Amino acid sequence: MTRANDFTPATKRKARERSGGTCEVHRISKELRKVWYSALPLECSRKGEEVDHIVPETCGGSRELSNAAYLCKPCHAIKTVVDNKMAKKANRLQGLAGQSKRRSENGSRFWKPDGYVSPLNRKSKSYRKRPIRA
């Protein structure tokens, strides 16, 4: 069973042939390494086993051969952890998951789309600081 975001079998075959059977972690750009994938090695000589997106589809990556890298299992595992973390954060920021999503579904009294601020929040006009005890 293939997932909706998988590469086609022809693309996977071409990526394997291009790599010569070794890990292609070097195909991930320096800019991506600096920002997201600092834990990945610069070079890897292990046997490649899995085809992965260089730029994840959640971040606008395509399913083309130019966005495919044939990775070994350890490099793929590191990259997947980072990709999943980024996808979860993107879903939270878009309101597709997390606390704001739950509040909108459950009808919480503190959640309003117009930006309601709870009286417990320091930005509220009715917030009062407690006196400092000497």
Beta bridge partners of 22: 47
29: which 2 tokens?
A: 């750009």
What pLDDT is attached to residue 1? Answer: 40
Q: Convert the pLDDT of each residue in 112-122 to its tens digit.
A: 555 555 555 65
At 5 the pLDDT is: 56
Residue 21, pLDDT > 80, answer yes
Q: Where are the domains of the chain?
A: 9-93
pLDDT digits (tens, 9 = 90+) for 42-82: 888 899 999 999 988 877 888 899 999 999 999 999 999 98
